[in-house]
Amino acid sequence: MIVTFWQAVSVARRLIMTEAVKPTIVFVLGPPGAGKGTQSLNIVKEFGYVHLSAGDLLRAERNSPGSEYGELIETHIKNGSIVPVAITISLIERAMKESASTKFLIDGFPRNEDNLQGWNDRMQDKTNLKFVLFFDCSEEVCVQRCLHRGEQQAKAGAKRSDDNLDSLRKRISTYTNSTRPIIDHYQKLNLVRTVDAAGTEDEIFAEVKKLFSD
């Protein structure tokens, strides 16, 4: 019997998210503007992971015609608040099932205690958490980067609705009050790998590569 490439892909997709093949997960956390997305793309190129950005998935769902969650997601994004966990996890799980990969970077999740509990309840037994990649960066640097990104994207006609100073302050406050305790939780489990994210892209990735080369 000859198995075609697409048949093999179909089988791989059915195996993923089952007990037979548990995907390897790396959570990517840090404040807004720390470079999570940029470095995740570098990791994808170098180490073959699939990058799933919780924020990108939510924005795509918000922009999807007829989405029942679109308006709710937009409100949370503009307010710098956290979207209900059931929505975010559903989008992440769907994206994982649609991929033939078994290695995922999940960027910007879990962002609070509710996210963490939701993941543990629904996904912990289906996946293997390798570690939490934490990009540590000062608020000043993060704000400068985000505002610069907003300016560059505005010139290209694709500015994010949350790359303005008011939304940034709210997002940073949310990170400090809600996400940082999650990082501390994983730190106690010896699962956090910290990278100083204040340098250049190349300097930061040089440190990241050491973690994935072990």
| Binding-site residues from annotation for a ribonucleoside 5'-phosphate | 59, 81-83, 108-111, 160, 171
Question: Annotated binding residues, as ranges?
Answer: 33-38, 59, 81-83, 108-111, 115, 149, 160, 171, 199
Two structure tokens written together for 40:
């995740």
Question: Annotated binding residues for ATP, as ranges?
Answer: 33-38, 149, 199
Cα separation, 196 vs 62, in Å, equals: 32
Bridging pattern class, strands 103-107 and 50-53: parallel
Task: Establish how many alpha carbons lie within 13 A of residue 206's alpha carbon, considering only the half-sphere containing its beta carbon.
Answer: 6
Check residue 75 and give left, alpha or beta (phi > 0: left; psi -120 to 50: alpha): alpha
Question: Annotated binding residues for CMP, as ranges?
Answer: 115
What number of other Cβ atoms are within 10 A of residue 142's Cβ?
Answer: 23
Two structure tokens written together for 201:
């892209």
29, containing H or E segment: strand 24-29
Check residue 66 and give left, alpha or beta (phi > 0: left; psi -120 to 50: alpha): left
